[in-house]
Structure 1
Amino acid sequence: MSVCYSFHRMKSFWPRLVFFILLIGLSSPAMSDDMVLKGPAESWVKQLDIPAADPTRSDQIKNGVSWLLSDDQIKHRAGGYVEYSRTVYKIVDRPGLDRGASIDLQFDPSRHKVTLNHLHIIRDGAVLDRLEGVEFDIFRRERDAEKGVFDGWLTAHVNIDDVRVGDIVDYGSTYEVTPLVGKDLFFKNFSTEWEEPVALIRTSIIWPSGQPLEIKTRGTRLKPSISPTGPDTTYLWEIPNPKPVNVEDNLPVTYPGWGSIDVASTANWQRVVDAVAPYYKPATVFPSAFAAKLDDIALRHPVPEDRMVEAMRLVQDQIRYVSLSMGAGSYVPRDPATVILSGFGDCKDKALLLVSSLVRLGIAAEVALADLDEGRALDQHLPALRDFDHAIVKARIGARTYWLDATNYLQGGKAHNLAQPDYGFALPLSSTGGLEKMPSPVLTSPSIQIVEDFDFPRKPRDPLVLTVFSTYEDADADWMRGNLASRSLSEVSDAYLKYYNKQYPGFQTIAKPEIVDRRDGNIVSVKESYRLPAEALAAND
C-alpha cells in the first residue's frame, strides 16, 4: 500500500506557498552518490549477445530510440532475492539523445541495495566503458506529495557524456531486495509485449525447487521453459521481436490491453493476510479526550448503525490525511494513539483507528486492503502485497456488511443511505482469508437534479429573472459538500455566474447562492438567483 489517496485540498495561498517550498526541498539532491555502488554483476548472471532489431519494424520506432534488449534475471536469496536488469537500445535519431542519454535508477533505501554493473557505449563496433566515470546525482522526488503521500523513494540519476546518434547504450544494474514485510512473499509482473518494437524481452527466475512458483497469464498464452538447476528450478521466458501493441485509451481494468505474466510464491490470498494482519489488531487504549468522544457516542446513540456513522465521521473529519509511507510504513500503520495525538494519518492509520473505535463501540469491524484504480481486476492477478494501494474498513452489524473509507471527509447519510465505496474487490484481514467482491451501487433515481426557472419580463424594460434549483444526493452530495467546503461562497457564486454568462452574456447575480445541507439525509441543495437586464436580453435575441 505504497499509495492511498484522499480528497484533501489546500484552502488558501499561504499553505500552497509552504507546500511549494517543501516540494523544492524534496526534489533537490538528497544524499551522496555512495548510496549506489559500482561493480560487476554476480557470477550466476548470464550475459547475452545483443540481438539485432527487426528492420521491417523501423517505421514503428518512437522518439529516436530502437529497443534491443530487456533482460531481467532473478535469483532467490534468504530473506529476499536479487534482481539483475539489463537494458540495451540504439539512438537512431536526434530525439533519442534526449530520451536515451541518461539513466534513472529508482529505489527504496530501506529495502534495496543497488549496484550499477556496467555502462557501455558501443560506437562503430567499439565498446566504450563509461562505468568508471559515472557520477550519481541522488534525488528524493515525492511524486505524490500534493496528495499528502511521502514514500521516501530515491532516484539515482546518471547523465551519460558524449552520446551520439548511432550509438548503442548498454547498461546493467543489480538490486538486492530485502522485503520489510512478508519476507517469504515473492511477486513479479512483466509485460510480454510493448507499444514499441523490441528485439528481445527475456525474464528468468531461479528459485528453490522446494518452493515452486505460481504463474498466471493475462492477455497471453505464453508459457515458460522450466528446468532444474541443482537445488533450484529455472523459469525462463524469451520473447523475440514481439509485435508492438496499440493500447487503446480508457480500457476497463478488467480488459487486458497487452499481455502480461504474474509470477508469485503463492496463489493463496491468506498468505498476504498472514503477512500483515498482525499489524492491524484493534487498539484498546486511546488518549483520554478521544476515548471520551467515543463514550459520548455510545451514550447518545444506542443504535449500532448510528454509532458506526458517528465514529466514521469522527475519524474522517478530525484526522487529516498525510501518508508517511517510508520503509515499513508502506504496509504497517502507526499506533492509533499516535495518530490521534498527531492529528493526521494515511489510509492505513485511519482505517485501523476507525476499526479500533468501532470495536470499542461494540461493532464487529476489520481493516480490508483495496486498490483504487485496478481493484476490479484483482481476481485476475496472483496474490501480492503490491496489489494494494489503499486500506478501508469492513464493518458488520447483524447480517449486513458496510464498507467504509476513513479517508473521505464530510460524508453524509445514515446507515441506510450511506454512499459506500466500490473498489471492485477487497481483502479483509481477519474474516475470510480471500478476496471479497464489494457491492456496486444501484442507481434507482437521478442523484443530481437541476431545475432552471425562467421568469420572462412582462414589461419591455423589465429584466429576465432566472432561478436555479440544484439538488445533489448520495455520493454526489458527498462530493458537493466537500467542494463547497473547500471554496468561499463568493468563489462559488462567481463560478456559477461565469457559467451562465457564457450562455447568456449580461447576467447579474441577485443574491449569493443559498445552500442547504441535510447531512443525515445526504442531500445538498443550492439555490441561485440571476437577472438579465432588458438591454442584454435584447442583445441575446
Structure 2
Amino acid sequence: MAFEGEGAGEAKLSFAPAPMEFASRDIDMSGRDAFALTERGVCYILSETLIDLSEPAQVYRTRLVQQVTGSDGLQPTASFEIVFDPAHERLVIHTASVLRDGERREAASPAAFELLRRELNLERAMYDGRLTAHMIIPDVRVGDIVETAFSIIGANPALGGRFSRRQQLQWAAHLIEADFRVRAPQDRALVWRTHGAAPSVEETLEAGVRQWRWRQQDIPALIYDNDTPAWWIAHSEIHIADRMSWDEVAALFRDHYLAPAELPQALTGEIDQLAVSFATAGERAAEALRFVQRLLRYHSVGMGAGGFRPRAIREIWDSRYGDCKDASRLLTVVLQRLGLEACPALVNTATGAGLNEAMPHATAFDHCVVRAEAEGKVWWLDPTMAPQAGRLSRLTQARPGWALPLRVEARLEQIREVERQIVCETFEEWTFGRNAADPAELKLRTIYRSWRADDMRRWGENEGFPSVSRRMREGLERTYGEVSEVEPLTWADDTAANEIALIEHYSVSKPFAVNEGGDAGVKFESLDDVVGPTLVGSERPRREQPIHIGTPRIVRVERVLNFPIKPQITPWNLALSGPGVTGRSQFEWLDSKRGRNIVEVDVERSIVAASEVRSYFAFQRRMRANNGISFVLDTRRGRLTGDAKGQTTWRSWAVVGAIVLLLILLRVAAPGA
C-alpha cells in the first residue's frame, strides 16, 4: 500500500531533511575513474553511517552514494529499500536523489513509498513483524549518481538499552570511501574491536558528547569462499558495544527462562510419567528431550521482545508450538522436575566457534539449547531438532562451539567435539558375469550412525521409503547406468544405538564401458561416495582463507569384487595424511578371483587453517586420484579374459600422474638444477 499524509505517520514512516551533523556532501571523485572501479554496473562511492546514542532514543543514520556505470546496475541502484521493526522503531527518509549533469533531482515523497510485510524467513516458520519501506527511483540512467539516506530511531527494549554494532567497511565490491561514526555521552563506557585492515579511530569530545570515527578510502573488494568458516573475519570491520561481561549479558535474559510457580496439571502428569518409566538420569534426559521434540512444532513469532524472550510455559504447552527459546525453556523445566541439573544456554550457530575471541555483547547469539548434567557429564541438547534416537551417549549433541549458560555468574563454556566415529560405512559386493555384456549383481549394506542416522530417519519419515529407494537407485545410475532392483530396499533402525542399516540388492545392466581403442577391452570405474563428498573445499591458487570441512567424522567403503576369471590387478596399500585429515586406499586379493577395495577418509578436526590450505589441497588431489578402483579387462569374442596382455591397472591416470611427479623429482635432483 502507498502511504499519504496521516497514513505514513501511523506507520512510523516520515520525511525530513538530514540533520546538520549528517548533512549531504559534495561528490568528489578526486580523479578516480568510476568505470574502472565498477562491479556489475555500479561504482560504490560512499557508505556513511552515524549512530547517535546521545539522544533520548538511539538513532541510526546511513547514506549510500553510488554511480550507475552499466545497464546491469540500473535496477539495483534505482531500488531503495529499508527494513525496520515498527514495534519499536521509526523510519525517517532524508533523500532519494539523482545527480545528473550537475543538477540534483529529489525523488522521495510519501506517495512514492510502499510499506511491505515481507517475512524473509517465512518458509522456516519464523515471523518477526518487520516492514520493508520500498520505492523505485524513476528515470535512472547510466552515468547518474544516486544518493539515498535515512534514519531509524529506536531500539528493541528487550536488550535493556544495551548497544552493539558490527559495521563492515569492506564489501565484496570496491568501495571508494567508508565513514563510520558513533556518538555517545562522554560517561558511557563503549569498547570496540577492529578486524582486517580497519583504520585507526579518531576520537573527539564536544559539549559532553564523545565521538568515535573510522574513515577508510579505496577499499578493495573481498570475496569469501563458500567453505570459509563464518567466524573467520578478514574484511575491514568495527565492532563497538557497551562494556559488558558475559554474566551481564546472561542477566538480560536469565529471568525470562525461570520455571513458573505452578505448571499446567497435564504437563506435570506427563513429566511424572517419565519419572516412573525411566529410572536413570541418562534415560530421563534422553526421553525428556524426545518428549519436547515430539510435542512442539517449530514456529517462531519474534515480534518486539519476542525475538529475545520465550513465552510463558502455559502458552507453550497449550499451543504445542514454539521456537528455540520456547522449546529450551520447556525442556529445562521438564529436566529440573525430573531431578536433573539443567539450564538454557545461548549459542551462535554461525560464529559460535569464535565467540571466545569476541567482546561480550547483547546480540551475540541466534539460538538457544539446553545444558544438562547426567551420568557425570555435561550434555548439550537441542529440543528444536526432529525427534532423535539413541541412548544419551548416542544422541547427536548441539555443536556450535561456545555457549553461554543462563545461570548466576555465567561465563562462556566450550562445547567440546564429541568423539568422532564412522558415521557412514558401506559394504559393497560386486559379482561380474563371464561375458562383458552380462549384467552384474550388486549388493550394498550401508550403516548410518549419529547425525547421519538422524538425517536418514528424517528423510524416510518425511518422504517415505519408496522415495528413498528410488533416490538411492537413481544415485547409482548416475555412475553405472541402468540399475534395477532384485529385492526391495530393507531398512533396519536400531534406535538405542542410533544406527540405521540400509540393504540394497540390484542388477546393473551394463557394468562395463567399452575401453577407448575399440578392441582394448572393457573398463570399470567405481562410484566415489567417500572422497569427493567428504573432502570439500574450493581450490584456488592464491587462497588465503581457512576451510571448514565439516564435523569430525569417518566415512568408509569396503567393496568386494567377484570375478569369473583371474584378472591381473596389482595390489596397493596407500596411507595418506593432510592437515587434520587422513585417508586410506587399498586393494588386496582375497583369493584368485576375489579382490577387496577399501577407501576411508578420517576428518579429525573441522577447520583447515589458512596456513595449511596448500597442504590440504595436495592431500585432496592425491585422495581423489585414489578414490576407488578403476580397471580394464581384456575381452575375446565378448568374453572376459585374464590374459597378461589384458593386464588391468588401478587408477591408470593416477599412475601417469605419479610418473610425471617422478620425472619432476629427477629433474630437481639433477646436478645444476
TM over 0.5: yes
Which residue is equivalent to 2:88? 111
**Contact kept? 1:51, 1:68, Cα under 8 Å:** no
Match of 1:303 among 280, 285, 307: 280
1:452 matched to 2:423: no
The answer on 1:511 being equivalent to 2:480 is: no
Corresponding residue SS for 2:275: helix
1:130-279 equivalences in 2 (<5 Å): 130-132=107-109, 135-220=112-197, 222-279=199-256
> Paired residue for 2:338?
361
In structure 1, the residue corresponding to 2:252 is in which secondary structure? Answer: helix
Query: 2:453 is matched with which residue?
Result: 477
Give the C-alpha shift of residue 241 in structure 1.
Answer: 2.3
Residue in structure 2 matched with residue 373 of structure 1 by the alignment: 350
What pairs up with 1:493-504 in 2 under 5 angstroms?
A: 493-504=469-480
**Distance apart, 1:397 and its partner CA:** 2.9
TM-superposed CA distance for 1:359, in Å, is 0.6
Structure 1 residues 502 and 162: alpha-carbon distance in aligned structure 2, compared to 1, 3 A threshold: closer
Q: Quick one: distance in 2 between partners of 1:206 and 1:389? A: 27
Taking the aligned partners of 2:168 and 2:437, their CA distance within structure 1 comes to 69
Distance in 2 (CA, whole Å) between partners of 1:128 and 1:506 is 65
Alignment-mate amino acid for residue 230 of structure 1: A
CA contact (8 A) 1:79 1:183 kept: no
Task: Supply the distance in 1 between the matched residues of 2:127 and 2:387 (Cα, whole angstroms).
Answer: 24
Q: Which has the larger radius of gyration?
A: 2
CA displacement at 1:208 relative to structure 2: 1.0
Corresponding residue for residue 313 of structure 1: 290
The structure 2 residue matched to 1:426, chosen from 403, 408, 412, is 403
Give the deviation of 1:462 after TM superposition.
Answer: 8.8
CA-CA distance at 1:47 after TM superposition: 4.0
Q: In structure 2, how many angstroms separate the alpha carbons of the residues matched to 1:55 and 1:405?
A: 53
Residues 47-105 of structure 1, C-alpha deviations (whole Å, 9 max, x = no match): 43333266267433112211121111111156641111111111122222112112001
- Per the alignment, residue 24 of structure 1 pairs with none
User: SS of the residue aligned with 1:386?
Assistant: coil
SS at 1:416's partner residue?
helix
Asked if 2 retains the 8 angstrom alpha-carbon contact of 1:334 and 1:349, the reply is: yes
Q: Secondary structure at the match of 1:317?
A: helix
Between the aligned partners of 1:436 and 1:251, the Cα distance in structure 2 is 24
Correspondence for 1:83: 60
**Structure 1 residue 357, shift from structure 2 partner:** 0.5
Q: Report the 3-state secondary structure (helix = DSSP H, G, I; strand = E; otherwise coil) of the residue aligned with 1:241.
A: strand
Q: Distance in 2 between matches of 1:56 and 1:323?
A: 48
Asked if the contact 1:216/1:262 (under 8 Å) is kept, the reply is yes
Give me the whole-angstrom Cα distance separating, in 2, the residues matched to 1:486 and 1:171: 46
Per-residue CA deviation, residues 346-367 of structure 1 (Å, 9 max, x unaligned), is: 1111011000110111111111
The match for 1:523 among 495, 499, 503 is 499
Q: CA deviation at 1:384?
A: 2.7
Q: Is the 8 A contact 1:80 1:184 kept in 2?
A: no
Q: CA 1:244 to 1:466, structure 2 compared with 1: closer, same or farther past 3 Å?
A: closer
Maintained 8 Å contact 2:47/2:63: yes
Residues 499 and 250 from structure 1, CA distance in 2 versus in 1: closer, same or farther, beyond 3 angstroms?
A: closer
Counterpart check, 1:441 vs 2:412: no
In structure 2, relative to structure 1, the CA distance for the partners of 1:457 and 1:327 (3 Å cut) is: same
- Alpha-carbon separation, structure 2, partners of 1:240 and 1:460: 68
1:199–1:537 CA distance, 2 compared to 1 (3 A): closer
Alignment partner of 1:401 out of 375, 378, 390: 378
Deviation at 1:485, TM superposition (A): 1.2
Instruction: Confirm or deny: 8 A CA contact 2:493 2:500 kept in the other structure.
Output: yes
User: What are structure 2's unaligned runs of at least 5 residues?
Assistant: 515-521, 523-673
C-alpha distance 525-80 of structure 1, shift in aligned 2 (>3 A): farther
Classify the secondary structure of the residue corresponding to 1:251: coil
Q: C-alpha distance in 1, partners of 2:222/2:468?
A: 45
Aligned in 2, Cα 1:538/1:216: closer, same or farther, shift over 3 Å?
closer
Q: CA separation of 1:239/1:460 partners in 2, compared to 1, >3 Å: closer, same or farther?
A: closer
Cα separation, 2, equivalents of 1:346 and 1:168: 44
Residues 521, 38 of structure 1: CA spacing in aligned structure 2 closer, same or farther, 3 A cutoff?
same
CA RMSD of aligned residues (A): 2.5
Quote the Cα distance in structure 2 between the aligned partners of 1:65 and 1:127.
19
- From the superposition, tell whether residues 396 and 431 of structure 1 become closer, same or farther in structure 2 (CA, over 3 Å): farther
Q: Structure 1, unaligned stretches of length 5 or more?
A: 1-27
- Counterpart Cα distance in 2 of 1:79 and 1:293: 49
Counterpart for residue 17 of structure 1 = none
Aligned to 1:340: 317
Contact residue 51 and residue 200 of structure 1 kept, 8 A: no
Q: Is the 8 A contact 2:426 2:447 kept in 1?
A: yes
In 2: Cα distance, 1:53 partner to 1:104 partner: 29
Partner of 1:95: 72
